[in-house]
Amino acid sequence: MTTDKNRVLIFDTTLRDGEQSPGATMTHAEKLEIAGLLDDMGVDIIEAGFPIASEGDFQAVSEIARQSKNATICGLARAQLPDIDRCWEAVKHAKSPRIHTFIGTSPLHRAIPNLTQDEMAERIEQTVTHARNLCDNVQWSPMDATRTEWDYLKRVCEIAIKSGATTINIPDTVGYTAPRESAELIRRLIDEVEGGHDVIWATHCHNDLGMATANSLAAVEAGARQIECTINGLGERAGNTALEEVVMALKVRNDIMPFHTQIDTKKIMHISRRVSTVSGFPVQFNKAIVGKNAFAHESGIHQDGMLKNAETFEIMRPEDVGLAGTSLPLGKHSGRAALRAKLNDLGFEMGDNQLKDVFVRFKELADRKKEVFDDDLIALMRDAAASEQSDRLKIKSLRVVCGTEGPQTADLVMEIDGKDVSTTATGDGPVDATFNAVKALFDHSARLQLYQVHAVTEGTDAQATVSVRMEEDGKTATGQSADTDTVVASAKAYVNALNRLLIRRETTEVGYDTKTVSYKDAG
């Protein structure tokens, strides 16, 4: 893909591995939007999904392949011929398609399909050869590579290369390795595997021990030239290598790591916020690069140093990642032009009709708050996006009665499939009463797994952002909402999560052969 020996390819798997994170399922339109943003920011390879998993996943990968402008579009396939055929049918529409096929090679993973080393080696040869006959660009991964015996890992990598794989990805599937070990493994593979100097070596690290970024960078120093990562580090368990971290590390510390990517770093903040919105996963405040506090300075010593010289406590500028400089907040007298300019600074571009709707929401918020800050606007945009995709269930009005003496009461009016319904319910607190009222109007078996509240800005009039995660029949969904009234925000987040579960109910996934590894364990 590149002759530049110091160029590191960025392989983004937000839409595949990232979406596997419990509750992070995205709608078809959201996947297309995120894929477009990834393509626009300069991602080299977009792993758009797992085409055989469901008809919805197939259609999303297929349409992303058709709309891609620059990026290579990749689909994931297990080491089975039907998977590979289905993957090719989806990605073949791209200007630059790729098939990514994998199988678990560690002793623990070999035991799942109950294959001997020889039987697995034979399957690898068969499936990689089949993929290469369909597509010139084939990536192969030995899942759980970092816990695979060296001799066997070397053997299967050689088989994959001889069978036509052009990229060999080495997954640290459970975040088990450490930087020194990660580097040594890549170095040995390149030097000792026959044909190792003729392919691109990739690294795919999980963050279970908090070392995903360090392990990925160590692999690059050892010769890997592709990093698999996700926006915000989204992914199963503790997540994947965060795209923004490895990209900015290579940019800021180019003095000791003389490698580069083609990522437009000024677009990082915008896509981080969009992924957070559509996935329902808030970014932790102290998250590197994209966290709310990443460029905040509160202590007196830090503030004094920043005023005298920003480089005293900042190794990169906020503008480098697309964060707008400090500016005055908006208020209820601010006009539409000022709102549009502010939203553009924050990375939100919209047409006149969208602006009209957002302006109404902004005015409602400004009437309740003295000042509307950047974070308030981001929360408002997140809420607007959630409302657009949540069309079956809607909160129309809510009134709660609470105090030191219970039970608390919630009077709720909802719109369900276009029809207004109402009820009164009680509970142990106003939020519990509200959730009971929702369930009374829309009966469901979903279980509340997470309820989280944090203030968007400071002050008693601050908006509260509420995150809710719910589980039903093995499927999870996350909802978010923001409001100056915490109970209202809670109700909207709860309903958003239910709407996402309804979308998941309508998605029929294929069954899996018990002798194969579930795709959800991939990478």
What the block records as the tokens of 226 is 């592709």
Q: Is the dihedral of CA 374, 380, 383, 387 positive or negative?
A: negative
Identity of the amino acid at 299:
S
**Helix/strand/coil (H, E, C) string of 429-440?**
CHHHHHHHHHHH
Residue by residue, DSSP assigns 84-130 as HHHHHHHHTTSSSEEEEEEEE-SHHHHTTTT--HHHHHHHHHHHHHH
Of 220, 218, 248, 244, give the one whose Cα is nearest residue 231. 244
Find out whether 454 is annotated in a ligand binding site. Answer: no
Backbone angles phi, psi at 184, to 5 degrees: -65, -40
- What contacts 156, CB < 8 A, 6 or more positions away? 105, 120, 121, 124, 142
Find out whether 206 is annotated in a ligand binding site. Answer: yes
Find out whether 17 is annotated in a ligand binding site. Answer: yes
In angstroms, rounded to a whole number, what is the distance separating the alpha carbons of residues 310 and 286?
19
Secondary structure class of 384 (helix, strand, coil) = helix
The answer to whether 6 and 260 have CB atoms below 8 angstroms apart is yes
Tell me how many degrees the CA angle 436-437-439 measures, rounded to the nearest 5. 65
What the block records as the tokens of 269 is 């903040």
Tokens 């040995």 locate to: 188
- What contacts 255, CB < 8 A, 6 or more positions away? none
In angstroms, rounded to a whole number, what is the distance separating the alpha carbons of residues 390 and 294?
32
Backbone angles phi, psi at 106, to 5 degrees: -70, 160
Point out which residues pair with 200 in neighbouring strands.
167
Nearest-10 crossing angle of helices 150-162, 117-134:
30
- What contacts 376, CB < 8 A, 6 or more positions away? 329, 365, 369, 456, 457, 463
Binding-site positions for Mn(2+) read 17, 204, 206, 240
Binding-site positions read 17, 204, 206, 240
